[in-house]
Structure 1
Amino acid sequence: MPFDDRGLAYGDGLFETVLVRDGVPCLWDEHLARLARGAAALGIPMPSREILEALPPRAGDGLAVLKLVLTRGSGGRGYLPPAPAEPRLRWRAAPFAPAAERWREGVRVRHCRLRLGVQPALAGLKHLNRLENVLARAEWSAPDIAEGVLCDAEGRLVEATCMNLFWWRDGAWWTPRLDRCGVAGTLREALLARGEIRETAAGPEALDAAEAICLGNSVQGLWPVVRLDDAEGRPRGRWPIGARHRMLQARAHDLLGYPVDAMKDVP
């Protein structure tokens, strides 16, 4: 990556992280649609479908993660973008194994102190400016805490540091509306399109009243939340893994080709 690349200098670009199973990218259309939305919002020319379809891995057995990085390229004076832009596309693929024990046993999560800035122009995009997530993730190092829950500057639930957030209440699965900030994950988009979840605006008290909570993304799948702490590490809620968790997990894992463990003693 050249020193003057605008993605390196300013975070002027986008990225996608794609699960690839036996040479076939999962939720590929959703990833390309989000990349296209981001490219249009930033004014970066979108690579052709032919170029993207030619990216490896497209053969071989097993799981891999394909990461794509699209930047505006080099040039421009200061923040002023070059016209026309000459975008730069980079990719890397690596073998991958999901954290399957978290599917089975669930995870402990915590609230973060950091608040996400409200910027509707970037809401939903997977852009390269991820310093807020970096700072939020630096708030804890305990290995038994899997994720951190983030609110925006006005106190509304948004997401976890690298996953989307779902909770069951009043007979439905809900997820935060992402029209102000946050990343619209491709697994979340697919579940919305299939009517499995609904969007709402809510504060953190919604999690306190939830009957079940899950976190999910298109690489790791769906994790049931069994404990939620506040930002100081004090327990705020505990949930046994039940049929509601497994129901949403089954829908999500069907999209990714992951298994759903059989439940015992679940009402």
Structure 2
Amino acid sequence: MSDLKDAAARALACLDLTNLNEDCTEEDVLALCDRAQTKHGPTAAICIWPQFVAAAKRRLAGTGIRIATVVNFPSGMEEADDVMEMAEQAVDDGADEIDVVTPYPKLLEGHPQEVAAIVRRVRKEAEGAQVKAILETGMLGSPELIRSASEQAIAGGAHFIKTSTGKVPINATLQSARIMLEAIKASDEEVGFKPAGGVKTTEDAAAYLALCDEIMGEGWATPATFRIGASGVLDALIATLDGADAPRAAEGY
């Protein structure tokens, strides 16, 4: 149990507490901000829709909790100029991190360079913010395509590579995580990793931390290099830290 508690504490500190529900309201986001300030310490960030960034910035002032938002989400195929405008506005509103869905349909059509291109543009437009490139690994499917997307996102200057939007049938898996971490390791670049969607229990979080330890080395997975994109797992992590029974795994993201 002590090992699981250690994993829970590590995971909580690396959590991007997320609400990307279609019916999300400003009140929901303010509640999320409050939830992120737990009795066991703060989560690394919250991840929310762009229109709520300014309100979250006010609510989280002085907490040290970062604000992440999403662009080109979830399709990966919005007009590039609109994506850049949204990213720039989000940073102006106070976003610390931009999670951009890469144009994975273009990669599936044989145009992997489109992945690097959009990451590079968002890096430029969102100057001062960290950029996480969402690969949508469940839609890419094959190890070869997941590796290609990872390499292209890293080449474009992504600060993190992220598995998923949480909006498709297959989201984060340990298999895709291994491919992405191996691509980071091979690149010799300082790039972080974020599994998102499907991380619902302390055991799930512990498995991703163990994989990071195996591939990247113990001590690598900190909030600066590793995030978990989830909403439902927070209650499970707190229950583990409290020594209580785990709640029933949450549905959705």
Please confirm whether the aligned pair reaches a TM-score higher than 0.5, indicating the same fold: no
Q: Compare CA radii of gyration and give the structure with the larger one.
A: 1
Q: TM-score, normalised by structure 2?
A: 0.28
Larger relative strand fraction: 1
Q: TM-score, normalised by structure 1?
A: 0.27
